[in-house]
Amino acid sequence: MLFRATNLNTYYGLIHALQKISLNVDQGEIVCLLGRNGMGKSTTLKSVMGLVPPQSGAIEFQGRSIFRALPHKVARAGVGLVPQERRIFPTLTVEENLLMGVKAGCQPPKDLEPWTLKRVYKHFNSLERRSRNKGSQLSGGEQQMLCMGRALMGNPLLLLVDEPSEGLAPLLVKEVRDVLLQINQAGVSILLVEHNLKVAMSLAHRCYLLGKGFVAFEGTMAELQARPDVMAKYLEVS
């Protein structure tokens, strides 16, 4: 098991945002977190990353505890984050933004190729063409690609990706979807938050469907599709 979270309880003040959330990701998997807005999907990723530390529970990555570890220590352990807000550096060039993702001493296992500028540019052709442009000069789709590329420069084994297709035109949504698939095929496991059900269905091996801070359903995408009652209740899909 690459990653496992067990009985996570996370609070915002008195608000019990995550209520005994448990989930896991195996090596090579894409696992999707689904649910309506405000159900705790982004909070789950932030709890794993240490940005919003859970009050109780357990988080293990490659058999070691990263529960309540500081974000930079989680990153050095091999977990990368592509946040919903993207958070690129607008005054730095594309190449400088990518180099900000490098973590000294963080190398992948010997059977996996390390992520370098050349390799990132191979997957994100538009970034190579605009390598000297500042972050503020990029389109929304290019900024999303830059955010993913920067996370990969840290050689993660697990990538946490929060709403990558949000606000993008349909052609860019397809491009992002294809890039995520390529990243996974290159050996990176992915825990994905995605509101676009079509994208999620085409990518994920398994899913967790969240109610208000709890897991309402877990299973394969085919098993979810076989439960229209669950989809109607928690995804507003009929």
pLDDT at 112: 84
Q: Give the rounded percent of residues in the chain with a pLDDT score beyond 90.
A: 91
**Mean pLDDT, rounded, for 104-123:** 87
**Mean pLDDT, rounded, for 57-68:** 97
Question: Which has more pLDDT, 109 or 29?
Answer: 29
C-alpha 52/C-alpha 50 separation (Å) is 5
Domains of the chain: 3-235 (3.40.50.300)
Indicate if the pLDDT at residue 237 is higher than 90.
no
DSSP string, the chain: --EEEEEEEEEETTEEEEEEEEEEE-TT-EEEEE-STTSSHHHHHHHHHTSS--SEEEEEETTEE-TT--HHHHHHHTEEEE-TT----TTSBHHHHHHTT--TT----TTSPPP-HHHHHHH-HHHHHTTTSBGGGS-HHHHHHHHHHHHHTT--SEEEEE-TTTT--HHHHHHHHHHHHHHHHTT-EEEEE-S-HHHHHHH-SEEEEESSSSEEEEEEHHHHHT-HHHHHHHH---
Indicate if the pLDDT at residue 200 is higher than 70.
yes
Residue 2 near residue 26, CB atoms below 8 Å: yes
**Mean pLDDT, rounded, for 128-149:** 95
Indicate if the pLDDT at residue 190 is higher than 90.
yes
Q: What is the pTM assigned to this prediction?
A: 0.96
Q: How confident is the model at residue 238 (pLDDT cuts 50, 70, 90)?
A: very low
DSSP string, 74-138: HHHHTEEEE-TT----TTSBHHHHHHTT--TT----TTSPPP-HHHHHHH-HHHHHTTTSBGGGS
pLDDT at 102: 93
